Amino acid sequence: MKPSTLAILSAKAQVNRYLLTVIHSKPTDYTKTNALKFLPIYLVGTFFLFWGSAWSQTNELRQRLQRVAATTQGMLGVGIVDLSNGDTVSVNGQGRFAMQSVYKFHLALAVLSEVDKGKWALEQKIKVTKKDLLPNTWSPLREKYPNGEVELPLREILEYTVAQSDNNGCDILFRLVGGTKVVDKYIKSIGINEVNIVGTEEEMHADDRVQFDNWSTPRSAAKLLAVFHQKKVLSKNSWDFLWNTLVGTTTGPRKLKGVLPQGTIVAHKTGYSGVNKQGVITATNDIGIVQLPNGKRFAIAVFLNNTTLPEAECDRAIAEAAKVAWDYFLGK
């Protein structure tokens, strides 16, 4: 709740009176009793001043994000978590946005949780057949192994799926883990409920409507990043592997990282639908953890759905949202 201007001014006046009392009191008059008498007023006043200042800063962040959203000709949703204290800010944070390949991060978490249980190992070989490598879909994995019939370490398939957003790698992992329902159940089991994972990449390519069934809210995506960052749901080995893979993401270099200082560490996962026959980009997204020069980090999820802007302008809007957050946290 926003403190009223009158309450803030009143608190400030009380603090000033307290300080003047201390300054003008004679040493013989200013006793411990006097200090204790005014201490509650001082503490309450300080609280209101701090609360008012913090609210003003947060509100300014939200307003700047709203101005970015207004330029997108679509629906922009942003969820942000301060990873030093858990504070959150969002714009359209409860909206349901089509995730596209963002959900490959969710999938990787589910797969690595099974690795930690001993079901598989990162170096374990997985058979990839010709049938697994569907044509007419984004797949650097298929480009490298066009004929399939190879055994690849699980590590490599995960890297293709997350860092290069490989669609065939994604569906190989879905089949390995037991399907989309297994991943959906796992994500909900770690406290992320505003999400729905029901369709594979193959199913989304077969029917455009399926992409809208794979949805997340911006605030839940940011929360999932925060849960991951806490290093409680994965072993150290699995966490380090996924962190490095996210940092090494090659897709969407103009999204979250677009206007941040060169060399900024961003562990992120993108999603992109392409342009449909009506000239609409149904989903272009990026979620990630951004590291500031002082070593502190914040999680940010930016989803942009149903826009007629060119891809470059969409990327710019996502980049601007990240820069707004960067400036805010750098100035705290």
127-138 mean pLDDT: 97
pLDDT score of 199:
98
Instruction: Give the pLDDT of residue 56.
Output: 58
Most confident of 9-23, 28-42, 195-209: 195-209
Any idea which fold 72-102+179-330 has? Beta-lactamase (3.40.710)
Is there a contact between 176 and 193 (Cβ–Cβ < 8 Å)?
A: no
**Span 248-274, average pLDDT:** 97
> What distance in Å separates the CA atoms of residue 294 and residue 204, rounded to the nearest whole number?
41
Kindly state the average pLDDT of the residues 121-143.
97
Residue with the bigger pLDDT between 32 and 112: it is 112
Q: Rounded distance, CA 137 to CA 177, Å?
A: 21
Query: Is the pLDDT assigned to residue 24 strictly greater than 50?
Result: no
Distance CA 303, CA 99 (A): 8
pLDDT of residue 50: 42
- The pLDDT tens digits for 291-328 are 999 999 999 999 999 999 999 999 999 999 999 999 99
Q: What is the per-residue pLDDT for 80? A: 98
- Mean pLDDT within 150-167: 98
Is residue 26 scored above 70 in pLDDT?
A: no
Average of per-residue pLDDT across 181-193: 98
Alpha carbons 32 and 22: distance in angstroms, whole number: 11
Question: Worst-scoring range by mean pLDDT, 9-13, 196-200, 207-211, 253-257?
Answer: 9-13
Catalytic residue (one of 201, 216, 238, 320):
201
Domain positions in the chain: 5-53, 72-102+179-330
Of 223, 143, 165, 157, residue with least CA distance to 191: 223
* pTM of structure: 0.84
Mean pLDDT over 173-180 rounds to 98
Confidence at residue 290, expressed as pLDDT on a 0 to 100 scale: 98
3-state secondary structure the chain: CCCCHHHHHHHHHHHHHHHHHHHHCCCCCCCHHHHHHHHHHHHHHHHHHHHHHHHHHHHHHHHHHHHHHCCCCCEEEEEEEECCCCCEEEECCCCCEECHHHHHHHHHHHHHHHHHCCCCCCCCEEEECHHHCCCCCCCHHHHHCCCCCEEEEHHHHHHHHHHCCCHHHHHHHHHHHCCHHHHHHHHHHCCCCCEECCCCHHHHHHCHHHHHCCEECHHHHHHHHHHHHCCCCCCHHHHHHHHHHHHCCCCCCCCCCCCCCCCCCEEEEEEECCECCCCCEEEEEEEEEEECCCCCEEEEEEEEEEECCCHHHHHHHHHHHHHHHHHHHHCC
State the pLDDT confidence band at 40, using cuts at 50, 70 and 90. low
pLDDT over 60 (residue 205): yes
Cβ atoms < 10 Å from Cβ of 298: 26
pLDDT of residue 42: 46
Residue 202 annotated to the active site:
no
Do 296 and 83 form a contact (C-beta atoms < 8 A)? yes
Instruction: Please give the pLDDT value at position 332.
Output: 76
**49/9 Cα distance (integer angstroms):** 8
Pairing of β 195-196 and β 281-291: unpaired
Whether 101 is catalytic is yes
Above 60 in pLDDT, residue 238? yes
Q: What is the model's pLDDT at position 142?
A: 98
Going by pLDDT thresholds of 50, 70 and 90, the confidence category of residue 12 is very low
Q: What is the CA radius of gyration of the chain?
A: 24
Residue type, 293: P
- Mean pLDDT score of the chain, rounded to an integer? 88
Of 101, 139, 238, 273, the active-site residue reads 101
Q: Which is more confidently placed, 280 or 8?
A: 280
Task: Tell the burial category of 279 from Cβ atoms under 10 Å away from its Cβ (0-12, 13-18, 19+).
Answer: exposed
Supply φ then ψ for residue 198, to 5 degrees: -130, -20
How many Å apart are CA 64 and CA 62, to the nearest integer?
Answer: 5
pLDDT at site 58:
79
Residues of the chain with pLDDT > 90, as a percent, come to 81
